[in-house]
Amino acid sequence: MANDLRTEINRRRTFAIISHPDAGKTTLTEKFLLYGGAIQTAGSVKGKAADRHATSDWMDMEKQRGISITSSVMQFEYDGYCINILDTPGHQDFSEDTYRTLMAADSAVMVIDAAKGIEPQTRKLFKVCAMRDIPIFTFINKLDHEARDPFDLIDELEKEFGIGTYPMNWPIGCGVNFKGVYDRDKRCILSFADAHKGRERLGAIECEISDTEKLDELIGSYQREELVEQIELLDGACFDFDLEKVRHGKLSPVFFGSALNNFGIETFLEHFLKMTTAPLPRKTEGDTLDPVKDGFSAFVFKIQANMNKAHRDRIAFMRICSGKFERGSEYLHVQAGKKLKLSQPQQMMAQERTIVDEAYAGDIIGIFDPGIFAIGDTVCDPSMKIKFEGIPTFAPERFAMVEQIDSMKRKQFTKGMNQIAQEGAIQMFFEPEAGYERVIVGVVGELQFEVLEARMKSEYGVEFIRRPLAWQYIRRISNDVDPKKLDLYETEWVQDYRGQNFLLFKSEWFITRTLEHNEGKLELVEFGQ
């Protein structure tokens, strides 16, 4: 039994895909699913003719805009591995959702547009990975379009992120002159043919870099000379491959290809699965859990309401960190101090779900949530009584007053605002004693307001008026003081749904002034602490 458990856990691979918007992240995800047989045809994010959309983009707004605005979970089998993919939002306004999702991943695949290189959101997400010591694998995409010099891209990666890189393959031209890639390990060429458009798997053509005649036949003399020169330079100047450094996020293996044309994807997937790790030990408050030796434990990293419009339910996403989950078994919800049976555990394919009887460390499962779970909650065997380290939250940077239009729909308004706030998509505050008549919403980015508006209308049938507010900073009052007795100037006192007291400020100057004028009475801490 123990050997079976070890075997199942060791074949798990759980990773997140991160990128700046429009770098090709969702397209890459779908090609992975094609290879695993999880889907039969890839939906084009921008293709209107076929009227299909990306498998991992399921919200109406995602389909309309062609961007990912919420994380999706997909599981499939490939070559003996059980793979859990976490497809994250690329847009910076949804950084918090991406951050929480990265907490559930063991490694990350960073997708970079070959023409644009490192972009602001890529930079931000990399720093999150570096903080968690997450292995990072880089896929430089869109080589079938005009691209920057590959040496410049590699150099930028190393300088921007302060890590080493090791190109696993090397591009032969780009755009209309893109001939394929040279596999440095196998010393062979993978030849690119634009005509196949990803409909077939490509066979590598073995060709030594010194075989001038064969290389000329494959790619032409000009590109052969350029390739030979570049490979010689690469072999002499790049970092040595070190798997241990890869697994600690100090060296990033780099792959070149075209996700849209399904070029280089299979090679990438095969190398990646061998280099990345099975589920690793996880830190708890005061200890470390072994994924194989310890009993079942998991934490909630995401909550999503209304994924299935027919059922209008709410799903808590859990990352299993140790042991084996068994349907119908009794587990402890640590924060509530209550035992419960998780009778309908589900595995995900975006919004599609399948009831499962068992799952293992590394897997992501969805649990029906009647409103008892919060992000960061721990569920485990009753004998363990552990808590995982908390998941930090991002401080809101934009605020707006939200007022319902139809007073007859107050119940729907309250329910919708509560559920979306509990997902962590927005932060919700109230003016003391005003209740739900007027709600102050805080978000990280402007697009989150649009998502809130669209979801409230489509999922709860409620429309509201939104008025932007001038507040830019929020601090929590950490000591037991009556806010009514404080000297507040150009500062708003609000409460969250738990009754915690917060102050909203227009600038850092007002924070300093408020502390000076209430010296000895007021203690403030950053949001989320």
Domain formed by 15-68+90-96+105-275, architecture: 3-Layer(aba) Sandwich (3.40)
In order of 428, 437, 454, 456, 457, the CA distances from 409 in angstroms are 19, 12, 16, 11, 12
**Cα 295–301–305 angle (5° rounding)?**
120
**Cα 280–379–497 angle (5° rounding)?**
120
pLDDT for residue 48: 34
pLDDT for residue 440: 92
Cβ neighbour number for residue 430 with a 10 Å cutoff: 17
Mean pLDDT for each consecutive 10-residue tract of the chain (529 residues)? 83 88 80 69 38 43 41 81 79 60 88 87 73 87 92 92 91 87 83 57 64 80 85 84 91 92 84 91 86 92 70 80 93 92 75 82 89 87 85 81 88 86 82 77 82 84 91 91 90 88 93 92 83
Selection from 381, 380, 393 nearest residue 302 by Cα = 393
pLDDT for residue 288: 87
Is pTM beyond 0.85? Reply is no
- CATH number for the region 398-526 comes to 3.30.70.3280
Helix 95-103, helix 120-131: angle, nearest 10: 30
Q: Identify the DSSP state of 388.
A: B
Tell me how long the chain is.
529
The whole-angstrom separation of Cα 337 and Cα 380 is: 11
pLDDT for residue 53: 42
The whole-angstrom separation of Cα 282 and Cα 300 is: 14
pLDDT for residue 137: 94
Beta bridge partners of 318: 300, 365
3-state helix, strand, coil in the chain (%, to 5): 30, 30, 40
The residue ranges of every structural domain in the chain are 15-68+90-96+105-275, 282-380, 398-526
pLDDT for residue 206: 65
Query: What one-letter code names the amino acid at 11?
Result: R
* Residues 37, 41, 42, 46, Cα dihedral to 10°: -170
Contact indicator for 179, 162 with CB cutoff of 8 Å: no
Query: What one-letter code names the amino acid at 236?
Result: G
Domain formed by 282-380, architecture: Beta Barrel (2.40)
pLDDT for residue 21: 74
